[in-house]
Amino acid sequence: MVDSERLRLRQFHERVAGLIPCDPEGARVDLHTMGLTKLLSHYVNWADRYVAPRPRRVVTWDGFLRHGSTRPDWDAVRALAAKIEAGNDLKPYLSDKIDRYGYVRPKVQGKDRPRGVEWGDKDYALNAYETHHLHLNRSGTGLLYVNFSRYDAFLVMVGDHKSFDDGTLAQAVAEARVGTSHELQGILGPLRPRTMDEHNRLQRRGFTTAFSVGGHTVLGAMLSRTGTSPLHTMHADRMIFLIEELDPQIDEPGFGRQWFERNGKAYPATPNFEWMMRSCDLCLIETTTAFGIPMVEWKR
């Protein structure tokens, strides 16, 4: 169990709670008072909406031109794909809401019951389908939907903001997942498959769904009942597991010396290690040298 009273962990908690933009600002008190595991889940839910700048190989699939409206935006798609491959910062192509709505206090109704999923601080397409949407033009009407890993950028389709809920994005994702690890091998779909509208209404209420595509059953949206991604929660759990194991060892003499030696760096006389988040990666930073070691890397 994480010792929340340990100074280094208190400082880490305060640092993470201070990074997440809140609406209203007074809601930040929630972040400062919640446990570290829950706080890290909120942090990853927000920080994953950005795309960590790094060169990626752009790949596509045979349905890219069948879905959405790619052809009118083809020049913009090619230009953006070149920037993705170069590892450019993609923040100019993301919604400016990310800078303002990192945590929104859930609304309640009678008897302090949650009113429903709070989507104000969540990206539905990202949490449900692991798909970022990049704005292709200043008007924001054309969106390039992309699945990012650390090394690849898979172009799903070009659509608009209606694609979140009208079934076009869901259909493209479902077809693209056939034959991948998202296909549920040996599992038959229901006798009466749900329409995409029915899937969407369930997902907006925080239900995970599966889609039927030409006799194949694939994972559709993967969501918790609060609209968050289970992948974000599992990443937070991995970080906590590592912190629980490693933090008590950090103040022992010679801790981390092998990392410095492997990188050809001199080990400091009085090292001081702190936990830090870099994008969605958990890192240990030796503050006197600014030498950082990634400890738990996020999939993107």
What residues form DSSP beta bridges with 212? 217
**What value does the mean pLDDT of the chain take?**
91
> What's the pLDDT at 110?
60
Least confident of 58-62, 206-210, 267-271, 273-277: 206-210
> What's the pLDDT at 18?
98
> What's the pLDDT at 88?
97
For residue 36, give both structure tokens: 């570290």
Name the CA radius of gyration of the chain, rounded: 21
> What's the pLDDT at 27?
96
Q: Give pLDDT tens digits for 151-183.
A: 999 999 999 999 998 989 999 998 999 888 887
CA atoms of 34 and 220, how far apart (whole Å): 31
> What's the pLDDT at 284?
98
> Which percentage of the chain shows pLDDT scores above 90?
71
Class of domain 49-182: alpha beta
Upper half-sphere CA count for residue 85 (Cβ side, 13 Å): 10
CA atoms of 163 and 157, how far apart (whole Å): 10
> Could you tell me what percentage of the chain is helix, strand and coil, using 3-state DSSP and rounding each to the nearest 5?
40, 20, 45
> What's the pLDDT at 106?
84
> What's the pLDDT at 230?
94
> Which percentage of the chain shows pLDDT scores above 70?
94
pLDDT at 250 over 90: yes
Question: Are 176 and 214 within 8 A, CB to CB?
Answer: no
Query: Average pLDDT of 39-50?
Result: 98
Residues whose CB is less than 8 angstroms from the CB of residue 33 and which lie 6 or more positions away in sequence, other chains included: none
For residue 255, give both structure tokens: 């801790």
Question: Are 106 and 114 within 8 A, CB to CB?
Answer: yes
Q: Give pLDDT tens digits for 192-236.
A: 677 777 777 778 878 777 778 877 888 778 888 889 999 999 999
pLDDT at 138 over 90: no
CA atoms of 21 and 104, how far apart (whole Å): 9
What is the pLDDT confidence band of residue 1, given thresholds at 50, 70 and 90?
A: low
For residue 175, give Cα distances in angstroms to 52, 127, 160, 170, 179.
27, 18, 19, 9, 9
pLDDT at 17 over 90: yes
DSSP alpha helices (H): ranges in 138-288?
168-177, 196-204, 230-246, 257-262
> Where in the chain are the domains?
49-182, 231-296
Query: Average pLDDT of 25-34?
Result: 96
* DSSP structure class, residue 18: H
pLDDT at 261 over 90: yes
Least confident of 4-8, 52-56, 275-279: 4-8
Q: Give pLDDT tens digits for 92-135.
A: 999 999 999 999 998 876 665 556 788 999 999 999 999 999 99
